[in-house]
Amino acid sequence: MSDTQFVMPVDVHNNLVEAAYRKRGYTDDEAKQASRFCELAAWHGIKTHNALKALHLDELFGSQVKPQGCVPGATIDKRDTKFAASEQWNGNFKLGQAVAFEAMDTCMKLADKYGVGQVSVDNAFHYLWGGGYVIDAANKGYIAYTNCTSTLAEVVPFGGKFPTLGTNPHSWAFPTTDAIGFPICIDWATSTVAMGRVQQFKREGKTLPPGSAVDANGKETTDPNQVKALLPFGAHKGYGLSLINELYGGLIGGSLPTLRGKPATKPAGEKTVSNFYFQVIHPDAMNCGGYAKGRTQSDNLKAVIDDILGHGNESCLLPGQIEARSAAASARHNGLLFTAKELDEFKHVADEAGISFDTSSFAAV
């Protein structure tokens, strides 16, 4: 019963989300980009970054917060640059979803011309789910990548005691839709678990997996009640991957990691901001023209993937496959799937936005 989900038509969802964003002062275009992103998240079954989470985040850290929340109606300043395949932006704390979609669009146009294009963003505000932007670009035929510095430093460097790194995610997606029906998407934080997972394990009285976290003395612990900070996944290897985002952030113009997201207590003159980095590669720009047996590029990619998932590995999942299954379910039901509890929360959103919201016509599945 509690697993029952209800089908919300996309236009109902998007009208509601847009109204909520407009009500908070965002422009029509920002509201559209926000609803486009929330649709993408819900379509792929991403419960942690759907409209409800996005609006909640905006409430806690965004347009409703001074100083230095997200700034509705902010304009991106694009720096003059001599580098033809690159753009360098000051995001001016514009809504992260709007900045990220525009950056990916820009990268795709640059990749069309140069084979590869990149956009770096300073003064960025949380884009929620990097996987969404790269999946969107991969569905359009590109290899897409993004990383960002997470708002809070919650992760301890390998061999250290004190959290000075963000959970710093990386997101890659590949144009494998023709080959296998969906884009392969590799998308995760560089901590073993998220802080939200620690809270969940605490509530449920469970033990954390090894290599997840440290206590107040910087010693590893599997007791969620003792956790003071997180550990990178894969020891020194995940540490290196987390560090990459900090180095990108430092090069772009970001703040010291331990000051990030803490404007109230920052030393004078320091910044407290996150950064985004986006990159797109055109697959034709990697084509060396020599596929075996006269295969096309896509056929060769499919043959490689089939080989990896053959030989007894048929039950393995590809990264992005779970999201692809959710997307298929959304397509099958012709709408976005939400639980009754989520619909209740949407009702609050609708009330805040001052629009009517009738769930009685939503089919249960």
Smallest distance, Å, CB 270 to a copy of itself? 5
Restricting to residues 145-164, which ones interact with a copy of itself according to CB under 8 A? Answer: 156-162, 164
In the complex, minimum distance from the CB of residue 211 to a copy of itself, in angstroms, rounded to a whole number: 9
Integer Cα distance of 33 and 357 in angstroms: 21
Least distance between a copy of itself and beta carbon 361 (Å): 39
* 113 three-state secondary structure: helix
Contacts with a copy of itself, 185-204, as mask; x by CB under 8 A:
-x-x----------------
Contact 142, 280 (CB under 8 A): yes
Chosen residue from 9, 25, 141, 283 binding a copy of itself by CB under 8 A: 283
Where does this chain touch a copy of itself (CB under 8 A) — which range of 47-55, 306-314, 330-338, 348-356?
306-314
The enclosing H or E element of 144 equals strand 143-148
DSSP 255: P
- Residue 255 interacts with a copy of itself (CB under 8 A)? yes
Element (H, E) at 322: helix 321-333
Which range binds a copy of itself by CB under 8 A, 16-24, 28-36, 97-105, 297-305? Answer: 297-305
**DSSP H helical ranges for 154-206:** 177-180, 195-204
Amino acid identity for residue 228 in this structure = K
Q: Backbone phi, then psi, for 280, in 5-degree steps?
A: -130, 140
How deeply is 292 buried, as exposed, middle or buried, from its count of CB atoms within 10 A (0-12, 13-18, 19+)?
exposed
Is residue 244 part of the contact set for a copy of itself (CB under 8 A)?
yes
Footprint of a copy of itself on residues 263-282 (CB under 8 A)? 269-271, 277, 279, 281-282
Residues 18-77 that bind a copy of itself (CB under 8 A): none
Q: Is 102 in the site for a copy of itself (CB under 8 A)?
A: no
Match 């792929």 to its residue by tokens: 44
Beta bridge partners of 122: 90
> Per rule CB under 8 A, is residue 234 in the interface with a copy of itself?
yes
Q: How far is the CB of 342 from a copy of itself (least distance, A)?
A: 27
**Residue 90 found at the interface with a copy of itself (CB under 8 A):** yes
